Amino acid sequence: MLCPGFVNVNHEFPVDVVLEPMSKRGGVIRTRYFSVFKDPKDGNWWLITGYMKTVQGFWPRKIFNGLANSATFGGEAFGPVDQPLPPMGNGYRGIAELLYAALIHEITVLDENFKEDYDPKETETYSDDPQYRIIDYGWTYKYGRLIFYGGTTPQI
């Protein structure tokens, strides 16, 4: 949301706020709702947040090259070359365990007709450093599609 070009239309909720309370490893799982979708009329990519599904803002179509027709989902952790690798997720390398990993759940993909696909088959995971791990667990009845992720501390 802090990338150049994001248009924040909801000034009651700052885009750079720390979301609290946070989940604690091995403890209570805290969740947040986020939705990103492409408006079929103008091609802008909209961000919806919270369980009340509040419109937060959008990324204008004109700032993207590769996202004109489809989207990818991902994250990035980087820091100065002479420093230790920064943590991602909860700081531990991802494992497929709800209480001990950072996760994304209830992922839904919308096709060009806005038809929901809860278990898309054309997915792939990628990490260019063994200190980070992404596990696409697939679809579950209780949590929908799950993706676990994290890194730099070896899993304990």
- Segment 73-86, tens digit of pLDDT: 677 777 788 888 88
Confidence of residue 145 (pLDDT cuts 50, 70, 90): confident
**In this predicted structure, what is the pLDDT of residue 144?**
86
Place of tokens 């802090």: 2
Q: Average pLDDT, stretch 56-65? A: 86
**CB 77 within 8 Å of CB 85:** yes
Q: Is residue 102 classed as helix, strand or coil in its secondary structure?
A: strand
Structural tokens at position 114 = 């806005």
**Cα 144 from Cα 66, distance rounded (Å):** 27
pLDDT in tens, 90-107: 888 888 888 888 888 888
pLDDT at 62: 87
Residue type, 34: F
DSSP at 62: G
Note the pTM of the prediction, 2 decimals.
0.74
Tell me how far apart the 2 most distant CA atoms of the chain are, in Å: 48
Tell me how far apart the alpha carbons of residues 147 and 131 are, in angstroms, rounded to a whole number. 17
| Mean model confidence pLDDT for the chain | 81
What's residue 9's pLDDT? 92
Closest CA to 149 of 139, 131, 140: 131
